[in-house]
Each structure stands twice: as structure tokens, then as C-alpha cells.
Amino acid sequence: MLTQGDALLKATAKAAFWQSYEAYPSIMGGMVAPVTSDSTSEDYPWLAYAPAVREMIGSRVKRNVPELKWTIANKKWENTVAIAWETRKFAKLNQVQALLGNLGAKARAYPDKLVSGLIANGNTAGNTCYDTRKFYDTGHFDAGAAYTATQTNYFTTEVPAAATTLWTDLEIAYAINFGRGKLMSYKDGDGDPVWMDPNAPIVVQCSVDMYPRVAVLQTAAQLTGGASNPVLGAFKVIANPWLPDSGGVDQLWCFNVSGAHKPFILQTAEPVTLEDDMGGDNDFNTKDVNFGSFGYYNGSYGDWRYSVYLKAS
């Protein structure tokens, strides 16, 4: 039977966990399509595009689009901490608040970390998207579509014009402008552009060590040598702590967040919950109590047309 002190500890832990969980600011806004799952995995008949509008002459014409099967399997995620008997005994609720608050923040942050891994490894073998190419690749095309021209969202030698491993402010601006232009240029399987708003800013993610040099371009009207800033007001930069440091070779990831499709998918079968074993065997045997988060979900690649990877050569 739970004591009044145990009930207070449980309430404190629960409140601290969910307050921190809800307060955590995701860095993936507009980049991830949330999908609800009711199975261990989900098959996506990926409808890569909607057909182009046509003049209606006579009756309607039903047009099929290629269905490219894409499967995402859910995974179980947990994070469990022990509250020592002494903490319960002497009602050290401030310690419980701090620990469970951190547990809540980490439970909310993990989907961002999961997607960050997809971003960081999108140009490596095995990290493919629906067209069986690497997510960041030089040879994307939709097999069986009306428009099958090869399109690229991975660039090294093309940017910036004066290719160096550590970019100047002019070169960073050139790279962002180049990436924005590429995002505007992509076409779906019917040959229609996926970028619908030429005035929409893009999202740029970079490593923490590169962030100060990129962030200044959001507000600087002039760059080195008095050159005007071509990307002023055209992007928002996010420092992603899970992306690898530049290591002396600058790299940027650009995202179009204005479209119906998204570059990543977060598929959730069971959202995050908080559980404890108060009154259970562990409580009886050791007098310690465990609190743990649990979720059943997974992240995966979505539409490659909504992201560009730029790396210094």
C-alpha cells in the first residue's frame, strides 16, 4: 500500500516529467510528417505526385500514378531511472523533480535525435528513401512516372564558387542561395514544381560549431567587402547539436518546409508514456522505485525533393 509520501513523490515525478516533455522545443518543425500507426509496421504505397491539371474535354480522365512501396517498422524506445529509498524516505522531492524533468525532456527530444541521425547519414550507403537511392543522392528519379529526368540533392563541387573547406560569409551565403534555388527547381513525377511559394524562407540546419558564422547572415545586410547579402530574410538557421561538427569541412542541410510532403516521417504506434513500479517486486526487494518512459514509434525518410545537402569540396 502506498504511503502519503509515496503518493506525493509519484505526483511530483509525473508533473515534472510532463512539464519538461511539453516544454521541450523541437528543432524539426515543418520537416517531419506525423503518421499514426496501428501495426508493427506500415506499408506506404508512395504516391510520389498528383497528376497535372488538364483541360476537361468531355468526361473526366482517370490517371494512375506509380505506387512505390515503402515500409516503416516501429521500434520500442525506453529510458528508466531508479529513485533510491533514501530519496523517498527523506522526501527529497527537488531531486526527483530535476531527474524526472530531465527524463521528460529526453523522451521528447529523442524523435529529434532520431531524425537528426537520418539527416547526418543521408548520403551514406544503406540510408535509402522510397526510390531506392540514398536520401542525399545525385541520381534521383521516379521509375514509371511521366517525368523521369535525373535530379540531384547532394552537392559538393558545385558550391561555393570559390570552393574551400571553410567557407567565408560570402561563400556561406552563396551556398544557401544555391540550395534554395535547387529546392525551387525540383519537379515531381508529372514534371510540376514541388515548390509552390517563391517567397517562403527555407530552413537551414548546421552543426553547433558552424552556427555563429551562419546565423549572422540572417540579419547582416552587408557581407565582407561591402557585398550585399543575397539571403537576407530568405532562411532560418537552426543549430542541430546532433549533427557532426564540421571538422574543418563546412556542410549545410537546406529544407523546404512549405509543401504538403515532408523530407522525413515520424510514425507513431504508441506515444510516449511514463510508468513506475511502485508497490511491485522491485519496491519490495530493494525499496527503490523505478520510473521509465516508453514509446513505440520510428522515424524514416520521406520525400527527398524537400531537402538539399551541401558540402565543401
pLDDT tens per residue across span 134-161: 999 999 988 878 888 999 999 987 766 5
Task: Pick the more confident residue, 285 or 307.
Answer: 307
112 or 286, which is more confident?
112
The single residue listed with the C-alpha cell 534554395 is 180
Cβ 188 vs Cβ 243: under 8 Å: no
Cis bond before residue 160 (omega within 30° of 0): yes
pLDDT over 70, % of the chain: 89
- pTM summary value: 0.90
233-271 pLDDT, tens per residue?
999 999 999 999 988 899 999 999 988 889 999 999 999
pLDDT at 210 over 70: yes
Higher pLDDT, 167 or 196: 167
- What three-state secondary structure class fits 192? coil
pLDDT of 164 strictly over 70: no
Instruction: Give the amino acid at 278.
Output: M
Return the pLDDT at 70: 82
pLDDT in the model for residue 50: 64
pLDDT score of 208: 97
pLDDT in the model for residue 62: 73
- pLDDT computed for residue 190 by the predictor: 85
Strand 202-206: give its sheet, edge to edge.
154-155, 307-311, 251-255, 202-206, 235-239
Element (H, E) at 22: helix 4-23
Helix spans in 91-210 (H): 93-120, 169-185
C-alpha 127/C-alpha 304 separation (Å) is: 12
* Mean pLDDT computed over 19-24: 97
Q: List pLDDT tens digits, range 73-112.
A: 999 999 999 988 877 766 678 999 999 999 999 999 999 9
pLDDT band at 189 (very low <50, low <70, confident <90, very high): confident
pLDDT higher than threshold 70 for residue 15: yes
pLDDT at 154: 97
